[in-house]
Amino acid sequence: MVNGVAILDIAEQILKLSCYYFSCFLVIDLPYNLLCGGRLSTFLAMDGSKDGPLKEMPLGIDAATEEEYASQSRLLQEFTSMSSVDKAWVFKSDSGFGSQAMFSISQPNLLANKMKKFILSSHVSRGSNKSVSFQWTPFPVEMTGVSVIAPSPSGEKLLVARNPEKESPCRFEIWSQAQVEKEFHIPPSVHGPVYTDGWFQGISWNHDETRITYVAEEPSPSKPTFTSQGYNKCSSMDTDLGNWKGQGDWKEEWGETYAGAQQPELFVFNINSGEAEAVKGIDKSLSVGQVVWVPQVRGSNQYLVFVGWSEGTRKRGMKYCYNRPCALYAVKAPNFESEADGHELKDCSTEDPPLVNLTQSISTAFNPLFSPDGKFLLFLSAKCSVESGAHSATNSLHKIDWPMDGVLSSAAKITDVISVVMSAEDSCFPGLYCSSILSNPWLSDGRTMIISSIWCSCQVILSVNVLSGEVLRISPTNSSFSWSVLTLDGDNIIAVSSSPVDVPHIKYGYLVDKESKNAAWSWLNVASPTDECPEKVKSLLSSLRFSIMKIPIRDVSDSPTKGATNPIEAIFVSSKTKRNDALNPLIVFLHGGPHIVSLSSFSKSLAFLSSIGFSLLIVNYRGSLGFGEEALQSLPGKIGYQDLKDVLAAVDHVIDVGLASPSKVAVLGGSHGGFLTTHLIGQEPEKFVVAATRNPACNLALMVGTTDIPDWCYVEAYGSEGKNSFTEAPSAEHLTLFHRMSPISHVSKVKTPTLFLLGAQDIRLPISIGLQYSRALKEKGVPVKVIMFPHDNHAIDRPQSDFESFLNIGVWFKKYLS
């Protein structure tokens, strides 16, 4: 019997003899899936001439789109290569003149699929004529393998923490100006990686810079060990060829991005002895974060203040969700006794020290911060989120009078500094929208703090008087750019400013007249190496413009509150010139959440799409942050209806004023933006030529049983009463409503070719949701393309994944809109 390989060889010989007569016929009519192992396909692709075989096309790319794919990838690499300023610190100069600034910079490394981190330094000097000069070091320094850095308050020491890979020790380094002074290895039996997530994360030096408190993962729990003889009672952390580890009990995690992470715990590290010790007295049911030292009070114990989250019956997703109740707690720090060779941890007590809940009268408190004189403890609250169930909402700022005698009380009076704004008049303060504050936001008067906050479609810089509660917008009021404070240089501000068509630029702000009650701030441009971008990118961005449009809502009668009747905003990005009087195709971009916001800041990905010939309409529908609490709370219970109407009103507006063609409109959105994207192509099947979506919420009835935030489904479908209706076992009535409010209920009407980008590690919207919808479209014959990223979670933000996502979006849209 002749085997398959022999048959294939014979077939190739026959074909070679007859290729001159039959090759064209064979190429057309032989099915591709019969061209075994590439051997026949390589031969059949030959044209009988001297030319060699055509190359095999990569999966998902055809000859018609390959050149577009190559061209766009080259341009996208230009955008991707640009660095970003993440943080900054300022220190006093050794010379006594000016100051030293240190900037943390990141840059995607596509080959390594990681973010590179750099430190760039500058000497800052002020001139007598209100000018400022930054003298930059020639080159940045890469911080290879660094997880987090934390300068001491004096600026004389720097903590550099390097998290381990697998079961290796954490490395702590203490740097001085010229060298690494000390290096310590914290074994995994003490704790796991230091938290660097920006939420649980907290690192704080004490007043004399001998101790550091921080949040790290608790040690990995011991698991049952088995040998050839069965269970081994003498369990150890080690494994060898003679045993293996079981799984043990499963433990709840905090959902999206925290898969595999151990419980956050509080530690204190002694930089003299190198000892690290877990803080005692904290109940194991509390997850801790955002720790700070209490200012030193002579003759009293040292305390720590931290945020604690109780898991209740289960841990629901924490990422992007500020509706998780939390409180500020105070706990006694481990005792220290002075020794000749330094300070050593001493704690001889047999009982755990008492834990004091400082904020029992408010449902949520986070980001603790002491005033410079130690008289006030300030904190942010997301009480509107907790009380309504919305995953994010308008924040408030509060303070507690701190007891100078060191006697703590759980009955401390909480005073409002910035209250929740329900509905703002035009151009007035819309409320506080920030989730973090600088570790040192204080001007020299000790009562004015500088913060960044969302104001409609922009981010702005505010000054807040914590005694009077006065809030002033100090970034330029005539600017549509977004501004963010990086750090303070005494009473001056170092900030960054950008727009959808302007790369981030560093700005230096100062008060024109400090003595004047209504003193204005002046902002200077700072020439910086971070301003630089590739010439191609610079040229393309210079040909673009943007504006923020106010668009009246439809059916005001549907809105029971005043704030919900205000116009929505949309950011419109377009070319400065028309080519042959033709309008560029329009991409409607929809943010997720739904309670977040698209800002008028620079986005490399969206700027790339603008640069390849698309106009952008970035819609902030009602429910977005930055427009007052009434507008935000008008959306829960009306998703798929009210937000849909707002998007359609924005699209119709730009078409009516002649900025877009009704025959060349695409829609793009992820998460809740994907919910809207798939709703739009189902409810308005003739309006959108092409669509793309990332991890979309296509079916709430499927989502509620698989997501880490099932309460989201109830609140957004039922409104605030959904918070009380939530159950882990949805009724048939619940599931029916979820299905009715989902895009999957309109899938039979969809005609729009759709690209799906799915993260296989997504816990927020598991891939089964997007796959179900995409398969339903395929079943109907709708063109569908699915790209799966096996190692990405909800955000799909690993450098290679982000690059491939927007490259495919650009090529997909060009295919149907050219």
Q: What is the 3-state secondary structure (H, E, C) of 53-80?
A: CCCCCCCCCCHHHHHHHHHHHHHHHHHH
Comparing C-alpha atoms, which of 186, 197, 211 is closest to residue 147?
197
Which sequence positions are flagged as catalytic?
A: 671, 762, 794
Q: What pLDDT is stored for residue 339 in this prediction?
A: 40
Q: Where are the beta strands (DSSP E) in 711-805?
A: 754-759, 784-789
Strand order in the sheet with 414-418: 366-370, 376-381, 396-401, 414-418
Quote the DSSP letter at residue 484: E
159: left (phi over 0), alpha (psi -120 to 50) or beta: beta
Of 802, 693, 703, 710, nearest to 756 by C-alpha is 693
pLDDT of 242 reads 78
Q: Would you say the pTM of this structure is higher than 0.85? A: yes
SS3 486: strand
Q: Return the pLDDT at 300.
A: 67
Angle, alpha carbons 554-555-559 (nearest 5°): 110
Contact call for residues 102 and 88 (beta carbons, < 8 A): yes
Q: Tell me, what's the pLDDT at 283?
A: 92
Contact between 482 and 601 (Cβ < 8 Å): yes
pLDDT at position 102: 97
Distance of CA 78 to the CA centre of its chain: 22
Nearest CA among 486, 637, 652, 511 for reference residue 568: 652
- Amino acid identity of residue 375, one-letter, is K
pLDDT at 534: 95
Alpha carbon of 647 to those of 16, 113, 224, 654: distances in Å? 60, 35, 55, 11
Dihedral Cα 454, 457, 459, 460, nearest 10 deg = -90
- 514 burial (CB, 10 Å; 0-12 / 13-18 / 19+) is exposed
Under 8 Å between Cβ of 462 and 451: yes
Q: From the CB of residue 601, how many other CB atoms can be counted at a distance below 10 Å?
A: 21
Q: What angle do CA 296, 299, 303 make, to 5 degrees?
A: 45
What pLDDT, on the 0 to 100 scale, is given for residue 468? Answer: 96
Looking at residue 52, what is its pLDDT?
Answer: 52
Angle at 568 between CA 563 and CA 572, to 5 degrees: 160
Torsion of CA 177, 179, 182, 188, to 10 degrees: 100
Query: Are the CB atoms for 453 and 475 separated by under 8 Å?
Result: no
* DSSP 8-state assignment for residue 48: S
**Residue 166 has what pLDDT?**
77
679 Cβ neighbours under 8 A, 6+ residues apart: 640, 644, 743, 746
pLDDT for position 351: 56
What residue ranges of the chain have pLDDT lower than 70? 1-55, 235-241, 298-300, 336-353, 515-517, 580
Identify the DSSP state of 747.
Answer: G
Nearest to 664 by CA among 815, 500, 778, 561: 815
Overall size of the chain counted in residues: 818
* CA–CA separation, 191 and 464 (whole Å): 38
3-state DSSP assignment of residue 662: coil
> 486: exposed, middle or buried (C-beta count within 10 Å: 0-12, 13-18, 19+)?
buried
Residue whose pair of structure tokens reads 């430190």 in the numeric block = 119
Record the tokens describing residue 310, joined without a space.
Answer: 């109780």
